[in-house]
């Protein structure tokens, strides 16, 4: 079974630039998550989708972050404009159903904002 | 507010010694609790969850609702157990602790 795919794996940008990350979940998984993991901390949920609807985006900084999951499969996370404090690993995960199910994680995208 | 506390950022033991990774949570409801693990150069993955009451790779974790704890234990640590361990619980969302880096020395 193919795992969760993410691209790019690494990205370096300057502050105020824009960046987008892509995620392809495990086939058949209804729920998709984006997490932000700052160095030395645990992953923090940014947004959770159930199919193509948003379930929880309470911790998403909506003035600069946006995410979509068209057709209930792939998802993109965008930051515009980026700030220095956005430097982190962005993890995508998926699960068959909700957050009390086992989540399968992608390899992450390491973002460095200079 | 949902919160998970892992008091030890680093834990070092010798091979064959017992190991316990501590986890405390604060939540008013009845959460589902997990331990996730990330081995070097690998993805974050589920190690075990309290509802299944399984022993995975020799690890067990018991939920103590009175102490709001879910400590991870293994009686005899192995070098391949060296990894970053995250305690997490699912209330309204999956909330992770800051993690404990376990090193098992030969």
Percent of chain A with pLDDT over 90: 89
Q: Collapsing DSSP states into helix, strand and coil, what is residue A71?
A: helix
Tell me how crowded residue A9 is: count the other CB atoms within 10 A of its CB.
10
Q: Transcribe A46-69 into DSSP letters.
A: EEEEETTEEEE-TTS-TTTEEEE-
With an 8 Å Cβ cutoff, are B93 and A41 in contact? no
Question: In the block, which residue shows the tokens 């680093």?
Answer: B10
Q: CA triplet A94, A96, A99: central angle to 5 degrees? A: 70
- List pLDDT tens digits, range A9-65: 999 999 999 999 999 999 999 999 999 999 999 999 999 999 889 999 999 999 999
Q: CA triplet A33, A36, A40: central angle to 5 degrees? A: 135
Q: Give residue B78's pLDDT.
A: 97
- List pLDDT tens digits, range A56-85: 999 999 999 999 998 889 999 999 999 999
- List pLDDT tens digits, range B36-94: 999 999 999 999 998 777 888 999 998 888 889 999 999 999 999 999 999 998 877 89
- B27 Cβ under 8 Å from any chain A Cβ: no
Q: Give residue B32's pLDDT.
A: 87
Of residues A41, A42, A106, nearest to B43 (C-beta) = A106
* Mean pLDDT on A99-110: 91
Residue B28 pLDDT exceeds 80: no
Task: Name all contacts of A66-72 with Cβ < 8 Å and 24+ positions apart.
Answer: A67/A34, A69/A32, A72/A30
Q: Which helix (H) or strand (E) holds B84?
A: strand B83-90
Q: Give residue A1's pLDDT.
A: 55
CB A52 within 8 A of CB A72: yes
With an 8 Å Cβ cutoff, are A105 and B43 in contact? yes
- How many Å apart are CA A39 and CA A24, to the nearest integer? 24
């Amino acid at each position: 079974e193919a795992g969760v795919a993410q691209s790019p794996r690494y990205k370096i940008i300057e502050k105020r630039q824009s960046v987008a990350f892509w995620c392809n979940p495990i086939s058949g998984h209804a729920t998709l998550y984006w997490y932000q993991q700052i160095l030395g901390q645990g992953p923090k949920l940014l947004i959770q989708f159930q199919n193509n609807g948003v379930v929880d985006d309470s911790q998403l900084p909506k003035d600069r972050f946006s995410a979509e999951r068209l057709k209930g499969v792939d998802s993109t996370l965008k930051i515009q404009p980026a700030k220095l404090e956005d430097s982190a690993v962005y993890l995508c995960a998926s699960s068959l159903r909700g957050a009390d199910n086992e989540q399968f994680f992608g390899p992450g995208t390491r973002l460095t904002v200079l | 507010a949902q919160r998970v506390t892992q008091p030890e950022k680093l834990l070092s033991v010798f091979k064959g010694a017992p190991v316990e990774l501590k986890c405390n949570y604060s939540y008013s409801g009845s959460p589902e609790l997990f331990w996730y693990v990330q081995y070097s150069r690998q993805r974050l993955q589920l190690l075990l969850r309290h509802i299944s009451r399984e022993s995975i790779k020799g690890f067990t974790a018991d939920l103590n609702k009175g102490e709001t704890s879910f400590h991870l234990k293994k009686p005899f640590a192995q070098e391949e157990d060296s990894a970053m361990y995250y305690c997490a619980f699912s209330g309204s969302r999956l909330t992770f602790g800051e993690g404990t880096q376990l090193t098992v020395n030969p």
